Each structure stands twice: as C-alpha cells, then as structure tokens.
Amino acid sequence: MRWWVAVAWIDQLLKEGAKRVDEVEVFYAEGVAISADTKRRNVNLAIRSDECGLGIRTIDKGRIGTSSTHNPKQWRECLEAAIASGRLATPQQWNGLPEQAVPDTDILCYDPSLTPDPQAAYGLLEQMLEGAAQHPAQVTSGSATLSSATDVIANSSGLRSISRHTGLSISLEAIQGQSTGSEFAHSCFFDVDPPAVGERAAFLASQSAGGKDIASGNYDILLSPIAYAELLAVAFIPALSARNVHAGRSCLANHLGDDIMDPRLSFYDDPHRKKGLASGLWDGEGMPTKRIDFIRDGSLSSFAYDLRTAYRYGKESTASAIRNGVSGGTMIGHHNFTVNGSRTDVEDERVIYINSVVGAHTANPMNGDFSVEISNAFWMEEGELQTPIRSAMLVGNVFTMHKEIGGISDEVRQIGPMVLPSIRLISQRIIGK
Amino acid sequence: MSEPPAIRYYDLRHVTGQATLIDIDNGVVESAGTSFFNRAILRVLGPCGWGILEIDNYTSGSKKKFNSLLASASRLASITQQDVHLSDAPYRVLDVPAMREDPRDVSIEEKTEMLAAIELAARNPHVVNRRANYIERSEHITFSDSSGHEFSYEICRSGFNVLAVASRNGTVQMGFERLHSIRGFDLRHRQEYGEHAAKIAVALLDAGHAKGGRMRAVLDPELAGVFAHEAVGHASEGDLVQEGSSILAGKTGNQIGNDRLTIVDDPSLPEFGFEPFDAEGVAVQRTEIIRNGVVNAFLHSRETLAAVGNGVAGHARAMGAEPPLVRMSNTFIENGDAPFEEIIEACNNGILLKGSRGGQVDPGRGIFQFNAEYGYLIEHGECTNMVRDVSLSGEILSTLHDILLCGNDRAMHPGYCGKGGQSVPVSDGAPHVLLDNAVVGSSGVD
C-alpha cells in the first residue's frame, strides 16, 4: 500500500521501541482543512490549515507512557519522552494491545467528492447568505470548513489500520435588534443544506424579536436536539465513563441494573451508523467497535470502557477509546451517542420550546444540577412557534429530568457525535425575570 | 496557475515549545510526560481580506520557499470581499516577568511527588475521589511582519488543579481548587489547596438549594471577576462590535453603570493573561472599557480599530499559532472603598456567592449567565446556611446600574477563556461586589 511506504518510519519506530519496552502504539494523523469566514455579508478571510502529528504510547510492565509531537522526524525524541513518562506512571494490570482484528481501512466517514477547496467554502457561504435573506435579520458572521484527514494506528502486536475522514461544517449567526439566532450543520459528506442553515439562523433571530417575560413557575418544556445535547454532554455522558464510575466521580456508579429513567427511553452508542459523524470500525486503540447499550428501556445496563480501564478493573473494553487530537492521547468517549424510544407527538399540547441554552458548561458534572439561561425560547402551540420568551432561566437536573418526560420526537438530528430527538419534559422549573 | 493578487501586508508567527502534564487520580499516577509542538501561521492581506496558512511542523527555509507560501496565502485571499484596513499601532516589547523558580529546572519526578502530596491532602472519610493535574506549557514565539518588525519572547505558564469528590447517601458534591501563574514554579508546599477542596466538597453534602428569583447578591472577587468578563468584557471586543453582534455597539459615552464603576482590561499586567506584545506584534496597554460607569473604549485588533474606532489595538490574541482574535487578557473591576463587613451588612437579606464554575454570554442579546461554586445565605446582615449549585443571569445594559457597592479587596484569579474554538489564558478579578436585583437560578422554592 502506497501510504504505508510513505510512513515506513512507523515500522522503524515500532521496532526500535519494542527493544526498549513491552509494547508500543503509534497514532499518526495528517490532514488539510480549508475554511472561509464571513463578517456580516462579506467574506473576510480564508484559511488553509495543514496538520500533522504523531502520538506514541508505550507500555512496560503495566506502566503506560505517552508523548506527542508535530514533527514525525522527531520520533526518536518523542519515543524517548514516552518511555520516560512511563517510568513515572503507576503500574497496572495490562493484558496487551489489540492485534489486527479489523479491516485495515475504514472509510465510513469518507466522501471522495469532498475536496478542501476555497471556492467550495465560498459557495457554501453564499448559499447560507441566500437562505438568510428570507427573513428580516442581519447576518453577523458565518463560517464554512471542508477538511480531509488520514489517521493511522499501528502497534507492536501487528495492528496496522488506516482511516480516512472528510468533514464539512457550516454555521451562520444573525441578529434582529437585540434578538440573536444561529444555526449549523456538520457532515462527513457533501450533503448539507446551506440555504436551510442560513434560513434557520435568520428565522430564529427575527422570530425571537419582541419577546415577552414569563413568570417563575413550573412548565412543560420541549428541548430541541441542540439544547438537549448541550445538557447531556456536560453532565450525563461523563457519568457513563467507566473511569469516572470506578474513580467515584459518577453518581450512576452503583446503579447498574437499576431503573434510572422513564422506561420509554434507551441510550446507546451506534458506531456503525450510516453517515454518522463519528462512525468508525475501530476505536482510538484499534479495538473493533460495536453497539453499546448504556440505558435499555430506562434501565442502566453498561458503562463505556477503554483498554486501560477495562484491564484495571477486570472488564472488557467496549471500544470506547477516542482520540482528542494527536497530542491528547486516548480518553473514554463515544461514537454516535443515540437517544431512542417510543415516539410521541411532543408538540400536541402547549409547551415552551427551547432551542438552546447559555451556560450549559457550568452544570455540576457530579450531581447533574444545572441552572442556565434559555435562548430562542417560544411558547409553542399545535406545533407552531408563537410568542417568543425574552429571557428566563431553566433550573433542573439532567438525571432526574429523564424521569419526567412527556415524550420524544419522531425526528432526530445529529449534533456532533450525538443523534438526538427533541425531548418533552413535564413540569420543569423556570425562573422568570 | 493564476498570478497571486497583490499583497498589502503579511505577518508570520511561529510557536514552538513543550508541554508537561501530570495526572494523579486517587493516588494513581495516570500519566506524567512531555509533548512537543511546532506550528506557524502566515497571514497575508490581499486587495480585500485575509489569506491565512496554518502550518504544523514549520521550518523557516529559503526566500523562494517563503515567497511560495506568500503566494499560496495570497491566492486564498482572492476569494475575500471585505475591504479590510489596518490601523496604525504602537510597537513595543515588554519584558516577561521574572520567574521565582523556573519549572523547567525541576525534574518531572519531583513535580510528580509534590503534586501527589497535594492530591493526598484531599483525603477525608467522605471523599471518594481525589484528582490533581499539573500543567506546564513553555512557548517560544517569534513574530515578524512586512513592515520590518521582528520580535520574540519565551514564556512559561504552569500550575495545578485539585478536585475532591465527596459522597454520602447518594449525594455527590465536589470541591475544586487551582493555582496557575506566569511567575514560576508553584507546586511546593501547596497541600492546603487539597485540604480546602476536600473541605468544600464535604461541606456541600449538607448544603441546601437557594430559592430562585430576584435578590441581592454579594459576589466574591473571583466570581465578580467572571461577572466583569462575561457581562462587559466580551461585549467590548471590537470584532463583535464590528459584526453587529454586541449590544455595546454605538453606546460609547453612554452611562451604563454607577459613576464609581470602572472596568479594565490590561494585558501588560504581570498576571496569567500577560502578553509582552499582542498576536499582531502590537504594544499592549491598559484599556478602560467602562470608566466611571460610562462606556469608554473597546478592545481592538488593528483591523477592528480601523473599522470601528474608539479604543486601542493590542488586544489580538491567539491560542498557539491560530488566527488572532480580539480577546480579553487580565480583566477586572477597580477597587471601591467598601469594607467586606459593610457590604454584607448592606446586603441585609440575599446571598453571598463564592468561586466560579465559569459563565457564558450572548453579547448581541446582551444576556449573560455565570455559576458559583457555592454560597451562603445572608440573613439580617449575617452569613448563615451554605447553598450549592447557584447560577446568576443578567442583562448587560441594566445590570451595571445594579452594582451598589464595590469593596477594597481586589484579587485576580487565573483561568481560560474560550472563543472561536480557541482557549487562551486569562485572569479575572474584582473586589467583593454587592449586586441588586440579581436573578438567581436555583431549584429551591418557598
């Protein structure tokens, strides 16, 4: 394979490393991204970003060491740093890196027609601006990015895997008076709808103008997939990480097998989802991925494990290791985190629709409590957005709110590595102003 | 290949260095190692806007190679339409403040031992998890531009976080402490940070919820600093003003707070957000965003100063070799003259909020939110019961009028600020502040 010839130094690194430590793992990535940004309605800048990086992990008698560099020619220094790092690590049970158990190429997230090109980025911006012109709002900023990357995982047990990814991201922000709106779309394929993104941003800005205040009280609310994702990502999903569970940082730790939410709900990771933004045949350590049922019909059934955590606690890896860039090493995460369940008409009765929230990251990750400002919120009647709500806070708990659901929508949306419906919640606390 | 368009200006910023990270989790050294980075950014201003190249593993080469990069960036600029101009700006390089002890002179073994002592200090019968991280990032930055400026500096930022998680009867709470600095190695004899994190986590197990709604709130210096950052700082950033997404656009000269209130951003201060010069090579200086309650000046890059006016350049910042954005650095509310006791007494009935879990603002809408780590009810001028999980939200144009008193005990606190996908080191600070009509988000009810 031509690509392996280009990275022949990886074999040399593995060979060199294997003389020094029990096992060596190499992660190498290179890619290019082209983006263009608009300020108001004029393109202000275009960027080409050429990225490459090397991450090395060594394991010696259960001691795990890591290092990384942007310069693959510096691999000897990087290997030395990884080995030195391992000497300081506390040893743990370690049963070996995976051997080749997967195809050597993964193109689930690859679109050969998606080429990083400035004119393509420009075209996407133009189309978003056209969409935005349908509503009386002013565009403030927007961005379009096209990217292509190749990742390699190789280890001293013989694993050699290449995955190729493409990506397309667009976003637009708009304002009408003191009312703002924004929308975005991400895909691994050239299949986004830029006019719809522009139209939605301008719609939210214009439709939210002239908002009315709301009295404090308990109300039924409908969280859009965006607002739902913001709250889940900060406080719920970290509680499913086995590292947090075993370390005492998850309030779900002693609840395996318990009914922790409404039995109509199931949460699972779906790594092979067609056109999923984070689909992959293997995880960040080269383990073959499969569906993980975290919550099955309201009952907590599994946590997410990488190799390190699984070996330490005598469990099986769920292939949940992800790479946070080259220098970040591996961490426990998910591929396409999916919320599913019996679908209902969530818009049939009067409800407060909340498109997004401000300050989700300030939620308490230990107990799930949050109090956030709501954005682009409306009274919704018979599925139609009616009176906008000017400003209010939503107070709740990301765990208990799943026992208070009115239903989830038929439609789902991909928000990064999540596939979510809108969710209707009963009697949630709103603090009015 | 078509001829690249004309170049009006270019600059090159090259960032190299290394980062050392140590992670200790419940007594286990999970990782302790060093990584290396090398990235450059070349910005070219064409006939209209910018063409930018970001290059990993950059090495300076021949003039021919550099001209080829310029041509590539210039071709990118050919798709831009905005008529970008750059204001004139002063150039000056400040000395990086001396370090008491250079972290690079301390072995990673010693650092790991000291961090372990801090982590261990968080031991407590109710503490189920202790975690401590050490972060050291040493950067060498070189800057050059087509106007002939050439500057460089080296800076090392280092510090630690310690987390304690307490649990009892299904209730889980946390205490979090941190110390980050540009002034040198600061891990020695810091066990009190671990002890304090544990103390707060355990105390919060018995804390209740405050009643949500409008009330008077006293913000401690850390939280009041975040308040200044979220409520005023972001909305004063020139790029947001230029785009039309700041509620402060067109408000210069307007009184939006009481006449004793002054809010400043100052990258020249030797705090965590210090820069010897900004990401465009421009001299850094103090900018009074709000002076005596009046909107006084915006934070600017050369581009936004030319487009918007009113303020000074020198506030362009970047995470590593990312494109410069207009950012805050060291942002604070100036001291007033009220002693802490007077502030609590004047509050009478309300809430004292301490520490920060961060905040966020929608500057176009003029709405912000931020969250305290914990607080205490104030009843009849006395601090009483501890409360947890309290957020505040407010509106930029009205909330500064509600600052009734500022203390005389300003302190700065380090942190990181996110914008446009970039995270940069900052510090925020203030004295204790008494806020009227604060909207408190908490789940307690009558």
Extract the tokens encoding B366. 């003029």
Give the C-alpha separation, B103 to B246, whole Å: 40
Please tell me the predicted confidence (pLDDT) of residue A326: 65
- Cβ-based contacts of A88 with chain B (< 8 Å): 22, 29, 32-33, 108-109, 112
- Cβ-based contacts of B129 with chain A (< 8 Å): 247-249
Please tell me the predicted confidence (pLDDT) of residue A51: 92
Average pLDDT over residues B94-118: 97
| Closest Cα in chain B to A142 | B243
Question: Do residue A103 and residue A218 come from a single domain?
Answer: no
- Cβ-based contacts of A313 with chain B (< 8 Å): none
Q: Specify the DSSP element, H or E, that contains B399.
A: helix B396-399
Average pLDDT over residues B293-302: 98
Instruction: Quote the mean pLDDT of chain B.
Output: 95
Q: pLDDT tens digit string along B186-195? A: 999 999 999 9
Give the residue from B204, B227, B245 where a domain finishes. Answer: B204
Question: Do residue A155 and residue A234 come from a single domain?
Answer: no
Contact residues for A158 (Cβ-Cβ < 8 A; gap 6+): A99, A100
Q: Quick check: A48 and B52 in contact, CB under 8 A?
A: yes
| Closest Cα in chain B to A239 | B172
Chain A closest-CA separation from residue B277 CA (Å):
23
Question: Do residue A6 and residue A52 come from a single domain?
Answer: yes
Please tell me the predicted confidence (pLDDT) of residue B170: 83
Extract the tokens encoding B180. 């980050």
CB contact under 8 A, B76 and A78: no
CB pairs under 8 A between A and B: 260
* Burial class (CB within 10 angstroms; exposed 0-12, middle 13-18, buried 19+) of B81: middle
Q: pLDDT tens digit string along A187-226? A: 999 999 999 999 999 999 999 999 999 999 999 999 999 9
Q: Quick check: B17 and B104 in contact, CB under 8 A?
A: no
Give the residue from B204, B225, B248 where a domain finishes. Answer: B204
* Burial class (CB within 10 angstroms; exposed 0-12, middle 13-18, buried 19+) of B409: middle
pLDDT band for A433, please (50, 70, 90 cuts).
confident
- Cβ-based contacts of A77 with chain B (< 8 Å): 36
Chain A closest-CA separation from residue B337 CA (Å):
31
Instruction: Name the percent of chain B lying above pLDDT 70.
Output: 99
pLDDT band for A324, please (50, 70, 90 cuts).
confident
Give the C-alpha separation, A23 to A96, whole Å: 8
Q: pLDDT tens digit string along A11-36? A: 999 999 999 999 999 999 999 999 99
Q: Specify the DSSP element, H or E, that contains B167.
A: strand B150-168
Average pLDDT over residues A75-87: 96
| Closest Cα in chain B to A41 | B82
Average pLDDT over residues B300-317: 97
Q: Which of B28, B50, B367 sits opposite A391 (nearest CB)?
A: B367
- Cβ-based contacts of A329 with chain B (< 8 Å): 31
Closest of A141, A352, A393, A134 to residue B363, by C-alpha: A141
Give the residue from A187, A204, A221 where a domain finishes. Answer: A204
* Burial class (CB within 10 angstroms; exposed 0-12, middle 13-18, buried 19+) of B150: exposed
Residue of B391, B443, B446 best to disrupt the A interface, most CBs of A under 10 A: B391
Strand partners, A331: A322
Phi first, then psi: give them for residue B183, nearest 5 degrees: -95, 15
Closest of A280, A270, A261, A281 to residue A337, by C-alpha: A270
* pLDDT greater than 90 at residue A347: no
Average pLDDT over residues A62-91: 95
CB contact under 8 A, A47 and B172: no
Contact residues for B276 (Cβ-Cβ < 8 A; gap 6+): B93, B94, B95, B96, B151, B153, B155, B284
Q: pLDDT tens digit string along B43-67? A: 999 999 999 999 999 998 899 999 9
Q: Quick check: B423 and B326 in contact, CB under 8 A?
A: no
Q: pLDDT tens digit string along A349-373? A: 999 999 999 999 999 999 999 999 9
Extract the tokens encoding A55. 């991450």
Closest of B127, B109, B79 to residue A118, by C-alpha: B79
The pTM score is: 0.95
Give the C-alpha separation, B172 to B160, whole Å: 23
Give the residue from A204, A237, A252 where a domain finishes. Answer: A204
Question: Do residue B200 and residue B217 come from a single domain?
Answer: no
Average pLDDT over residues B65-93: 97
Tokens 């280092």 identify what position?
Answer: B158
* pLDDT greater than 60 at residue B325: yes
In a domain, B385, yes or no: yes
Give the C-alpha separation, A370 to B424, whole Å: 25
| Closest Cα in chain B to A428 | B443
Chain A closest-CA separation from residue B389 CA (Å):
7
Q: Specify the DSSP element, H or E, that contains A172.
A: strand A160-176
Average pLDDT over residues B287-296: 97
Question: Do residue B50 and residue B70 come from a single domain?
Answer: yes
Give the C-alpha separation, A431 to A371, whole Å: 9
Question: Do residue B189 and residue B278 come from a single domain?
Answer: no
Q: Quick check: A57 and A166 in contact, CB under 8 A?
A: no
Question: Do residue B192 and residue B221 come from a single domain?
Answer: no
In a domain, B382, yes or no: yes
Q: Report in angstroms the alpha-carbon separations of A5 from A1, A8, A255, B391.
A: 7, 5, 50, 56
Question: Do residue B406 and residue B335 come from a single domain?
Answer: yes
Question: Do residue B160 and residue B273 come from a single domain?
Answer: no
Closest of A48, A1, A59, A51 to residue A26, by C-alpha: A59
Question: Do residue B334 and residue B403 come from a single domain?
Answer: yes
DSSP states along A45-74: EEEEEEEEEEEEEEEETTEEEEEEES-GGG
* pLDDT greater than 90 at residue B4: no
Give the C-alpha separation, B287 to B314, whole Å: 10
Residue of A184, A395, A397, A428 best to disrupt the B interface, most CBs of B under 10 A: A395
Q: Which of B25, B36, B79 sits opposite A74 (nearest CB)?
A: B36
Please tell me the predicted confidence (pLDDT) of residue A7: 78
Q: pLDDT tens digit string along B134-178? A: 999 999 999 999 999 999 999 999 999 999 999 998 889 999 999
Per DSSP (E only), the strands in B233-373 are: 263-265, 287-291, 294-295, 298-299, 311-312, 316-317, 325-326, 330-333, 350-354, 358-362, 367-372
Q: Quick check: A286 and A98 in contact, CB under 8 A?
A: yes
Range of the domain at B165: 9-204
Give the residue from A172, A204, A236 where a domain finishes. Answer: A204
Question: Do residue B105 and residue B180 come from a single domain?
Answer: yes
Question: Do residue A74 and residue A182 come from a single domain?
Answer: yes
CB contact under 8 A, B360 and A362: yes
Q: For chain B, how many structural domains are there in total?
A: 2
pLDDT band for A60, please (50, 70, 90 cuts).
very high
* pLDDT greater than 90 at residue B287: yes
Question: Do residue B233 and residue B354 come from a single domain?
Answer: yes
Q: Quick check: A137 and A181 in contact, CB under 8 A?
A: yes
Instruction: Name the percent of chain A lying above pLDDT 70.
Output: 98
In a domain, B420, yes or no: yes
Give the C-alpha separation, B177 to B183, whole Å: 18
C-alpha dihedral over B74, B76, B81, B87, to 10 degrees? -50
* pLDDT greater than 80 at residue B282: yes
Give the C-alpha separation, B77 to B45, whole Å: 7
pLDDT band for B227, please (50, 70, 90 cuts).
very high
| Closest Cα in chain B to A396 | B443
Give the C-alpha separation, A388 to A383, whole Å: 14
Please tell me the predicted confidence (pLDDT) of residue A6: 67
Contact residues for B340 (Cβ-Cβ < 8 A; gap 6+): B407, B409, B432
Q: A167: domain CATH number?
A: 3.30.2290.10
Residue of B14, B365, B422, B445 best to disrupt the A interface, most CBs of A under 10 A: B365
Chain B closest-CA separation from residue A56 CA (Å):
10
Question: Do residue A243 and residue A102 come from a single domain?
Answer: no
Average pLDDT over residues A314-333: 88
Contact residues for A96 (Cβ-Cβ < 8 A; gap 6+): A23, A157
Q: Which range (A130-144, A318-332, A360-374, B248-262) has the least confidence?
A: A318-332
Q: Quick check: B136 and B19 in contact, CB under 8 A?
A: yes
Left, alpha or beta for A316 (phi > 0: left; psi -120 to 50: alpha)? beta
CB contact under 8 A, A371 and B25: no
Closest of B364, B353, B400 to residue B228, by C-alpha: B400
Average pLDDT over residues B102-122: 97
Please tell me the predicted confidence (pLDDT) of residue B1: 52
* pLDDT greater than 90 at residue B218: yes
Helix (H, G, I), strand (E, B) or coil at B70: helix
Question: Do residue A308 and residue A218 come from a single domain?
Answer: yes
In a domain, B2, yes or no: no
Give the C-alpha separation, A57 to B30, whole Å: 13
C-alpha dihedral over A288, A290, A295, A299, to 10 degrees? -100
Instruction: Name the percent of chain A lying above pLDDT 90.
Output: 94
CB contact under 8 A, A46 and B170: no
In a domain, B3, yes or no: no
Q: Specify the DSSP element, H or E, that contains A9.
A: helix A9-20
Closest of A268, A294, A269 to residue A279, by C-alpha: A269
Question: Do residue B333 and residue B376 come from a single domain?
Answer: yes
CB contact under 8 A, B57 and A52: yes
Closest of B426, B415, B365, B367 to residue B391, by C-alpha: B367
* pLDDT greater than 80 at residue A2: no
CB contact under 8 A, A249 and B33: no
Question: Do residue A217 and residue A179 come from a single domain?
Answer: no
Instruction: Quote the mean pLDDT of chain A.
Output: 95
Question: Do residue B217 and residue B311 come from a single domain?
Answer: yes
pLDDT band for A328, please (50, 70, 90 cuts).
low
CB contact under 8 A, B79 and A391: no
Please tell me the predicted confidence (pLDDT) of residue A348: 85
Question: Do residue A412 and residue A314 come from a single domain?
Answer: yes
* pLDDT greater than 60 at residue A1: no
Give the C-alpha separation, B221 to B433, whole Å: 8
Question: Do residue A186 and residue A332 come from a single domain?
Answer: no
CB contact under 8 A, A372 and B173: no
Burial per residue of B342-351, b for 16 or more beta-carbon CB atoms within 10 angstroms, e otherwise: bbbebbeebb
Give the C-alpha separation, B157 to B20, whole Å: 11
- Cβ-based contacts of A251 with chain B (< 8 Å): 170, 172
Q: B165: domain CATH number?
A: 3.30.2290.10
Residue of A45, A80, A169, A356 best to disrupt the B interface, most CBs of B under 10 A: A45
Give the C-alpha separation, B415 to B178, whole Å: 9
Q: Quick check: B176 and B194 in contact, CB under 8 A?
A: no
In a domain, B1, yes or no: no
In a domain, B446, yes or no: no
pLDDT band for A291, please (50, 70, 90 cuts).
very high
Q: Which of A50, A247, A393 sits opposite B26 (nearest CB)?
A: A247
- Cβ-based contacts of A65 with chain B (< 8 Å): 31, 33
Extract the tokens encoding B211. 């009643």
Q: For chain A, how many structural domains are there in total?
A: 2
pLDDT band for B446, please (50, 70, 90 cuts).
low
Extract the tokens encoding B355. 């520490």
Contact residues for B387 (Cβ-Cβ < 8 A; gap 6+): B207, B208, B209, B210, B351, B374, B375, B376, B377, B442, B444
A 10 A CB-CB count for A324 gives: 11
From the DSSP assignment, how many helices (H) and strands (E) are in chain B?
Answer: 8, 25
Give the residue from B175, B204, B233 where a domain finishes. Answer: B204
Burial per residue of A241-258, b for 16 or more beta-carbon CB atoms within 10 angstroms, e otherwise: bbbbbbbbbbbbbebeee
CB contact under 8 A, B50 and A46: yes
Compare B443 and A334 and report the one with higher pLDDT: A334
Residue of A355, A370, A431 best to disrupt the B interface, most CBs of B under 10 A: A431
Helix (H, G, I), strand (E, B) or coil at B439: strand
CB contact under 8 A, B79 and A122: yes
Question: Do residue A44 and residue A98 come from a single domain?
Answer: yes
Question: Do residue A57 and residue A89 come from a single domain?
Answer: yes
Question: Do residue A17 and residue A71 come from a single domain?
Answer: yes
Please tell me the predicted confidence (pLDDT) of residue A329: 79
Question: Do residue B313 and residue B354 come from a single domain?
Answer: yes
CB contact under 8 A, B56 and A53: yes
Q: Which of B56, B80, B368 sits opposite A43 (nearest CB)?
A: B80
Residue of A138, A371, A399 best to disrupt the B interface, most CBs of B under 10 A: A371
Range of the domain at A425: 210-433
